[in-house]
Chain A
């Protein structure tokens, strides 16, 4: 937009200065600017006639005077805008003063002169000297217009480059965008180029042509560029932009001709990312001296570098995502399997899968067998196993070893390389995973993944061991409870009641499942001496709780929160505490919390149904128990006596019925309770929350 206005102003100014009509026309003599008129009026028809009369317009190569009719002159100057368009600046008309009369006579005598004769006042009459000055000034005008157009060409080209760069940047994140599209676009913008290509760095010093725009693409793709050889190989070494002209006789061109390429000029620019040459951008022209713009080429290679980095980051991100989702799957299966060996199988198989190892093994501590290590292996020769297993054990299970979480490479006696990854969790070493590998470089990208796998294995084994310990403790506690039931009825009652209170109150104050489990175990274990329980408990939480309990008994002072709770509950179920302990606990906020909770709980239990006074003497909650178990009144009375600890004969005496009848009632009661003996019946009734009243 700007250039047309400037051009018109310039043309108007000069027309005024020269006192001549000035206009710009194209090769077909069509007007490209508005006609700039001099001071005198001039008819447009005359101007068009003048332009039409210029002989051989397109052959004018410089600023000259040209006669439209004998003696009648116009100025003409060629203006080169770009390769496709050529314009002509026309100025006129003039006549030399000495031939003015002769011209007038000619116009009068010739028909084609009629228009000019009619407008003769528009023809400028000049002297020879004036004529020369006008030519020089007109020359200045044509040069200025030429410059304007050249600037415009430059601005247009720059604008195109910007648009092209914008297009490339906007498309870099588009899935469909690739380097083939980019170099094709570059080739289209540079018609001089007959081909453009990119050789991509592979490994070590190999570069392969992977992108190509031009003829014979199928033949060219995949060609290897040898370091230091040929035009391109030289650029890998020098790492600098190079171009060659007049190369048609160059012996290095023989290889190019083999693939159907015959450039006469060539360029090559290394694609650098940081200090590394990631590829080569090259192009050739059939012209002797191709118009390669080093700045454009440099910008393009920078962009290719950015694209390569972006692609590599994308690949890396995909790779990490793949690792993460695979790890997720592996860990998920590890947590589903229910024995340690199966966790170890997963570790072995995944190790082989991920590193494509030819063999893998795991050395691990047997959980239930002391002083024994086992080796699980896949693909390893038997004769190697024993020796390697002992060596692995010495290196990883000796107490001297400090760093146990990091993996390490190790060379076997046979010369094979293995990667050894400890299986750990919370600084405990459960085993070592060893995978046969080909080279250290192959393993390095997977070390973080293997490390996570080792920890995941450690966590899974830790959880399985914990579960196992809890199960074995559960068996032990059940056995000890049954012993109490047989031999220590009062203690058994206390244990059952305490367990019930612990379960309810612990939830109320937000203790976790492990703490509740430990407290419930302790409800039985506290009736046994420390020496008996030593080494018999596996669960850490229970073990710690019991240790603190025995300590508090000895020191008559309690510190741990859970132990305080244990004492408070046992005091509540009838256990006598030492005076200092009792005093300490009564001043503890936990004691108050427990009392408040118990009071709330108690209040709900003493709800008395209105109008059923007789039930009161049978005890609180008796009606609910009776309804729940579908007991008759007599069975309820018998149960009540059982709960007081009376045997069948004593019950018969107290209720004035025969032993046989009591037995019958007992059979019914046991059946309705779903238990097999008296003690189970007592426990069940207590568990249901029923406390008999003394009567």
Chain B
């Protein structure tokens, strides 16, 4: 089954809008107006998807947004 989780989307969009945020799960819960317990699982998912990076462990662990990798392709390759 697909997982269309509105909280996951909301959490991702928060980091998209604030890409330089460094925040604990509790801090994020407070910013998003959610419960820490429901957010922790979502944050772990986002870390697994490599959308977020987790620095440290436990309650003091900090999450931050990871930009996708950039790879350049000269256009000539495409027209050859």
Chains A and B are bound partners: yes
Measured CB to CB, the residues of A under 8 A from B are: 319, 322-323, 325-326, 329-330, 333, 336-337, 342, 344-346, 348-350, 352-356, 361-363, 370-380, 382, 385-386, 389-390, 393-394, 397-398, 442, 445-446
B61 CB → nearest A CB, Å: 20
- What 9 pairs between A and B have smallest CB-CB spacing? A371-B75, A393-B78, A375-B71, A378-B68, A376-B68, A373-B73, A389-B73, A333-B13, A356-B3
B50 at the interface (CB under 8 A from A): yes
Who on chain B is nearest to A329 by CB? B13
**11 other A-B residue contacts (CB within 8 Å) besides A326-B6, A345-B19, A446-B2:** A326-B9, A350-B9, A353-B4, A353-B9, A355-B2, A371-B76, A375-B73, A376-B70, A382-B71, A390-B77, A398-B79
Give 26 CB contacts A-B under 8 Å: A330-B9, A337-B17, A344-B68, A345-B16, A345-B68, A348-B68, A350-B12, A353-B49, A361-B68, A370-B75, A371-B74, A371-B76, A372-B72, A372-B73, A373-B74, A374-B71, A375-B73, A377-B68, A377-B69, A378-B50, A385-B71, A390-B73, A390-B77, A393-B77, A393-B78, A442-B2
Check A374 against B73 for contact (C-beta < 8 Å): yes
B37 at the interface (CB under 8 A from A): no
B44 at the interface (CB under 8 A from A): no
Who on chain A is nearest to B71 by CB? A375
Check B78 against A346 for contact (C-beta < 8 Å): no
Q: Which residues of A contact B22 (CB under 8 A)?
A: none
CA distance in complex: A490, B10 (Å): 58
CA distance in complex: A345, B20 (Å): 14
CA distance in complex: A142, B13 (Å): 82
Partner of A354, one of B4, B69, B71: B4
Partner of B73, one of A353, A356, A393: A393
What 1/0 mask marks residues of chain B from 5 to 49 whose CB sits below 8 Å from any chain A CB?
A: 110111011001101000000000000000000000000000001
Q: Which residues of B contact A385 (CB under 8 A)?
A: 69, 71
Who on chain A is nearest to B14 by CB? A333
Known A374-B72, A379-B49: A390·B9 in contact at CB below 8 Å: no
Who on chain B is nearest to A352 by CB? B49
Measured CB to CB, the residues of B under 8 A from A are: 2-6, 8-10, 12-13, 16-17, 19, 49-51, 66-79
Check A372 against B75 for contact (C-beta < 8 Å): yes
Check B75 against A329 for contact (C-beta < 8 Å): no
B20 CB → nearest A CB, Å: 12
B33 CB → nearest A CB, Å: 14
Check B78 against A397 for contact (C-beta < 8 Å): yes
Known A322-B6, A352-B49, A355-B2: A333·B17 in contact at CB below 8 Å: yes
Known A329-B9, A330-B9, A346-B16: A445·B75 in contact at CB below 8 Å: no
B75 CB → nearest A CB, Å: 4
Q: Which residues of A contact B50 (CB under 8 A)?
A: 378-379
CA distance in complex: A372, B77 (Å): 10
CA distance in complex: A325, B4 (Å): 12
Check A394 against B78 for contact (C-beta < 8 Å): yes
Who on chain A is nearest to B10 by CB? A329
B49 CB → nearest A CB, Å: 6
A529 CB → nearest B CB, Å: 32
Known A322-B4, A374-B70, A386-B73: A337·B16 in contact at CB below 8 Å: yes
Who on chain B is nearest to A348 by CB? B68
Q: Which residues of B contact A390 (CB under 8 A)?
A: 73, 77-78
CA distance in complex: A8, B16 (Å): 85
Check B9 against A389 for contact (C-beta < 8 Å): no
Who on chain B is nearest to A327 by CB? B9
Q: Which residues of B contact A445 (CB under 8 A)?
A: 2
Check A376 against B51 for contact (C-beta < 8 Å): no
Q: Which residues of B contact A394 (CB under 8 A)?
A: 78
CA distance in complex: A168, B5 (Å): 34
CA distance in complex: A342, B67 (Å): 9
CA distance in complex: A377, B68 (Å): 5
Q: Which residues of A contact B73 (CB under 8 A)?
A: 363, 372-375, 386, 389-390, 393
Who on chain A is nearest to B17 by CB? A333
Who on chain B is nearest to A326 by CB? B9
A401 CB → nearest B CB, Å: 12
CA distance in complex: A380, B3 (Å): 20
Q: Which residues of A contact B19 (CB under 8 A)?
A: 342, 345
A461 CB → nearest B CB, Å: 15
Q: Which one of A345, A354, A372 has the highest number of Cβ atoms from chain B below 10 Å of its Cβ?
A: A345
Check A373 against B75 for contact (C-beta < 8 Å): yes
Q: Which residues of A contact B75 (CB under 8 A)?
A: 370-373, 393, 397
Q: Which residues of B contact A344 (CB under 8 A)?
A: 68
Q: Which residues of A contact B78 (CB under 8 A)?
A: 373, 390, 393-394, 397-398
CA distance in complex: A342, B68 (Å): 10
CA distance in complex: A322, B10 (Å): 12
B11 CB → nearest A CB, Å: 9
Partner of B71, one of A342, A356, A386: A386
CA distance in complex: A319, B79 (Å): 43
CA distance in complex: A376, B4 (Å): 23
CA distance in complex: A385, B78 (Å): 14
Q: Which residues of A contact B12 (CB under 8 A)?
A: 349-350, 353
CA distance in complex: A356, B48 (Å): 11
A566 CB → nearest B CB, Å: 38
Q: Which residues of B contact A348 (CB under 8 A)?
A: 68
CA distance in complex: A82, B31 (Å): 69
Who on chain A is nearest to B15 by CB? A349
Q: Which residues of B contact A337 (CB under 8 A)?
A: 16-17
